[in-house]
């Protein structure tokens, strides 16, 4: 199975162009409290196996964490359940670099 990936810049460009994106931030509560991508939904990685069943399987999702590792694991979990998921490479570290 090939897992899809977007860069932080690609995600930001899609948002700026007005494209509706469904972003899930899988970081912990204290990390999200420091800021997240506008419009993103927070589901901590540990809660994902339960909470993902409330999500629409026909909707494509972009997964985000701090550096891309946890969102990669989240991507594998959700892809195994039939979700269309893309990992944002570099995570919020890359995203924050985009705003400078």
CATH number of residue 56's parent domain: 3.40.250.10
pLDDT of residue 99: 46
State pTM to two decimals: 0.93
Q: What mean pLDDT value characterizes the chain? A: 93
Neighbours of 54 (CB within 10 A): 7
pLDDT of residue 98 exceeding 90 = no
The boundaries of the domain holding residue 62 are: 4-98
Catalytic residues: 65
pLDDT in tens, 24-79: 999 999 999 999 999 999 999 999 999 999 999 999 999 999 999 999 999 999 99
Q: Any idea how long the chain is?
A: 100
pLDDT in tens, 75-90: 999 999 999 999 999 9
Handedness of CA 51, 61, 36, 27 (dihedral sign): positive
pLDDT of residue 100: 39
Instruction: Report the number of distinct structural domains present in the chain.
Output: 1
């Amino acid at each position: 199975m090939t897992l899809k990936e977007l860069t932080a810049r690609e995600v930001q460009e899609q948002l700026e162009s007005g494209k509706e994106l469904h972003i899930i931030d899988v970081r912990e509560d204290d990390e999200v409290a420091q800021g997240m991508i506008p419009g993103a939904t927070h589901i901590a990685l540990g809660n994902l196996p339960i909470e993902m069943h409330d999500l629409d399987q026909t909707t494509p999702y972009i997964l985000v964490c701090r550096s891309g590792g946890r969102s990669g694991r989240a991507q594998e979990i959700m892809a195994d359940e039939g979700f269309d998921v893309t990992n944002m490479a570099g995570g919020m570290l890359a995203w924050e670099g985009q705003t400078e």
